[in-house]
Amino acid sequence: MATITPQSLPHRDEEPAVRPPEIRRRFWGLVPDNQRRSLAELTDRLDLDSGDTRAKRSAFWAMLVLSGVIAVAGVITDSTATVIGAMIIAPLSTPILGIGLGIVTGRGRQIGRSLVYVVSGVALVVLIGVLAALVLPDGSDVLSNPQVTGRTSPGLLDLVAAFATGFAGSIALSRRDLGDVLPGIAIAISLVPPLGVVGVCLGEGAPALAVGALLLFTSNVVALVIASTVVFTVAGYPREAVVVRAATAEGTRRRRRTYVIIALVAVVVAVPMVANTVSVVLQSLWTVQVQGAAERWLADTPGASVEDVTWQADQVLVSVRSPADLPDVDALQDRVDELVPLDPDVVVLHTVGERVTEAPSGD
């Protein structure tokens, strides 16, 4: 029988060997032993209340305020380059990934502290957006800005991209040799710009659009937490936490409850995003059908043409150019009712005139 001595037990300051071969094989070697960060290193990067807390907190809040101002300015001015700049310096991913690390290591206090940073950061950036919207001049059409419209109706592909980005970011943080890819990951996940859009939409009196942008941010957060939980678990950090400090049965049960809660939140977030995706696909199909019906409706009107078909809430807008009067709109409404189950109201936008094409010049 082997003799256990104090010298044979792992010392708290030593990095324990907690990376069994089966875990490495299961993770396809994406976090190799010679590049893997220790739990202490990862905690120092993701826990704002460990190590030099004063410097970490001041850097977090300063960068968050600046990134919020930059993001809101980029949204209002429709400047993609400015918005990208806000993505790069945004520090919100640190406490979000800290939640994932706290979950896999069973540190409830780290989870709670990281949540406080995230919620406070959300409120701060939204407030910046609201204040910016309130000082905009009357008549500004910021809600039709592509920076706004592109973030108020997230779909399933946005959720898939968020998960892929979350896995990439978690793997990069777990390895010492992938620090160069972190700026690209910050751009891909886009945390602060959606919050800026939430604030701008609230300031402009458009809460429905604000909810859409908040859904995009929430889906990114959920994807980051789930992806980091998976990566950090398979990379061996829970086992390292067990060696460093004794694990309790209550901690294990708490971690399992957290997994269940995260799964439920993921489902709640995914449902409206799937619904948005289905809605976009159906609207694209119905748009083609409505355009065909409008062209047949105008078939007997000389020089008339359908310019565009767009959707606005429960209305379908049909833009028509014609030098003559149009047929009875009720006929088009009846045909659209047959094609589209939602029975949208048909609004015809008539531009008087006709297209003039340049005649080919003779020799």
Say which CATH number the domain at 319 has. Answer: 3.30.300
- 307 & 201 share domain: no
- 38 & 175 share domain: yes
Q: Tell me, what's the pLDDT at 19?
A: 45
- 22 & 170 share domain: yes
Please calculate the CA angle 79-83-85 and round it to the nearest 5 degrees: 120
- 150 & 287 share domain: no
**Roughly what angle, to the nearest 10 degrees, separates helices 249-297 and 207-234?**
140
255 in a domain, yes or no?
no
- 185 & 314 share domain: no
215 in a domain, yes or no?
yes
| Count of helices and strands (H, E) across the chain | 14, 3
271 in a domain, yes or no?
no
Q: Tell me, what's the pLDDT at 71?
A: 93
In order along the chain (363 residues), what is the average pLDDT of each group of 10 residues? Answer: 44 43 53 83 89 91 94 91 86 90 85 93 95 81 85 84 88 82 75 93 90 89 88 82 55 66 74 75 85 89 86 81 87 88 86 57 50
Tokens of 94: 């640190």
- pLDDT, tens digit, 9 for 90 and up, residues 212-243: 899 889 888 988 898 888 888 888 887 777 65
Count of domains in the chain?
A: 2
268 in a domain, yes or no?
no
Q: Which helix (H) or strand (E) holds 144?
A: none
| Cα 82 → chain centroid | 18
What number of other Cβ atoms are within 10 A of residue 188's Cβ? 17
- 314 & 192 share domain: no
What is the Cα–Cα distance from 110 to 112, expressed in whole angstroms? 5
| Whether the model pTM is above 0.85 | no
- 171 & 55 share domain: yes
The partner residues of 310 in beta bridges, in order of sequence, read: 317
**Roughly what angle, to the nearest 10 degrees, separates helices 192-203 and 108-134?**
40
- 297 & 193 share domain: no
Q: Tell me, what's the pLDDT at 242?
A: 66
Q: Tell me, what's the pLDDT at 125?
A: 95
Q: Tell me, what's the pLDDT at 173?
A: 87
Tokens of 51: 């190590």
What is the Cα–Cα distance from 199 to 152, expressed in whole angstroms? 12
* Contacts of 179-187 spanning 24+ positions with Cβ under 8 A: 183/88, 185/93, 186/87, 186/88, 186/90, 186/93, 187/84, 187/87, 187/88
Q: Tell me, what's the pLDDT at 238?
A: 79
Q: Tell me, what's the pLDDT at 299?
A: 86
- 73 & 14 share domain: yes
Domain extent for 28: 8-247
Residue 106 burial class via C-beta count within 10 angstroms: exposed 0-12, middle 13-18, buried 19 and up: buried
Tell me which DSSP letter residue 341 carries: T
257 in a domain, yes or no?
no
Nearest to 296 by CA among 352, 341, 334: 334
Give the CA distances from residue 335 to residues 65, 297, 310, in Å, rounded to whole numbers and listed in that order.
53, 9, 17
277 in a domain, yes or no?
no
The domain boundary, picked from 222, 247, 272, lies at: 247
322 in a domain, yes or no?
yes
- pLDDT, tens digit, 9 for 90 and up, residues 278-328: 777 887 888 889 989 998 998 888 888 888 888 776 788 899 988 888 888
What number of other Cβ atoms are within 10 A of residue 214's Cβ? 22
190 in a domain, yes or no?
yes
Q: Tell me, what's the pLDDT at 139?
A: 56
Q: Tell me, what's the pLDDT at 76?
A: 92
CB 108 within 8 A of CB 255: no
